Amino acid sequence: MDSYAEAPHVVTWEVTRACQLHCRHCRARAIPRRDREELSLQEMLTVFDDLRTHFNHAPILVFTGGDPLERPDLDDMIRAARSRHLVVAIAPSVTPKLDRSVIQRWKRLGVHAVSLSLDGIDAKTHDAYRGVAGTFARTLDMAHTIVEEGLALQINTAISQQTMNQVLPMASMVQSLKVTSWELFFVIPTGRARVIDALLPNQIEDILQWVARWAPRQSFRVTTVGAPQWSRVLHQSQSDRPARVVAREARGFAFIDHRGLVYPSGYLPVVGGDLRQSSFSEIYQHSELFQLLRDPDRLTGSCGHCRYRESCGGSRARAYAMTKDLMAADPGCPITTMA
């Protein structure tokens, strides 16, 4: 059986939708104040127990938002998760709430990694993307602080029509920040992101081909979101190795929103279950939606005929955003047929 059908590798948890940034591509359409329907810490403890005890290998737990620092009980969440030996990462928004004392506290609490978004090589690009002046400078400062304090640093970069021409210089900037991971997010037209923001198939392909040549020379991991074609591109560049199965929607990955609804991805707004009614493990392993998305035989169009349909499978989030068909061919892939 596919190990990703048994257990997720990563669970990202939107602990709140509140955030003080105004990002132009925000998946969550973040709000300035917390929702009264957020899961309480007590409700979260049951999920932590399930993650720890039900799966043979507990997933990495990423607290995100909105901005997780908008939750006054965030430290209690971290303590509770770590007491259950869960690996915890934090994806904060870079606002005045994030400073060195917060990073130091997270280090003491046992946080493994912190991810920051960096979408441009200068303030003009990044701050326009994030909607708040000064965010670029603060992000660089916090990136250096995270490394200085001994936490792993991941940089997340949104690749859109507005930022695609900065990928090469951004790669050099990421190198200089001493990251452990660089995640390239190819914008999906959902939330605040528009269809005109998303890259065309040939643009996605060109960037992936370049990254496949560049990444093997780096000391850090390079991953993609919204472009599972990365599996195919890597295989084509390293044909002596089998195609790597990438974690994607419902297959190695799951997303929990602030009200406890479970999704295959934060960018695929179709609900698999509700934690106030079912356990996470039950939803992940047995929900009809998650099982559908893990079945390559249910793919249609060119994705259904592609030789990489098991290792790649196309972005279900992009297919749904562009066609409203979960199993349709990925509109972001340039391949129309593949024997």
**Span 117-168, pLDDT tens digits:** 999 999 999 998 888 999 999 999 999 999 999 999 999 999 999 999 999 9
CATH code of residue 55: 3.20.20.70
Contacts of 295 (CB under 8 A, 6+ apart): none
Query: What is the number of domains present in the chain?
Result: 1
| Nearest-angstrom CA–CA distance, 78 and 147 | 20
| Nearest-angstrom CA–CA distance, 198 and 317 | 13
Mean pLDDT of 92-106: 97
What pLDDT was estimated at residue 158?
Answer: 94
Cβ-contact 147, 121 below 8 angstroms: no
| Nearest-angstrom CA–CA distance, 120 and 164 | 9
How do strand 221-225 and strand 113-117 relate by DSSP bridges?
unpaired
Mean pLDDT of 43-51: 97
Three-class DSSP category at 143: helix
Band of the pLDDT at 338, cuts 50, 70, 90?
very low
Stronger pLDDT, 278 or 56, i.e. the higher one: 278
Residue 324 lies in a domain: no
Two structure tokens written together for 123 = 């303030």
Band of the pLDDT at 26, cuts 50, 70, 90?
confident
| Nearest-angstrom CA–CA distance, 49 and 23 | 33
Residue 153 lies in a domain: yes
Residue 110 lies in a domain: yes
What pLDDT was estimated at residue 244?
Answer: 72
Residue 20 lies in a domain: yes
User: CA–CA distance from 211 to each of 126, 256, 331 (Å)?
Assistant: 21, 30, 21
pTM of the model as a whole = 0.94
Residue 244 lies in a domain: yes
Per-chain mean pLDDT for the chain:
93
Residue 219 lies in a domain: yes
Give the residue numbers spanning the domain of 80.
3-297
Residue 74 lies in a domain: yes
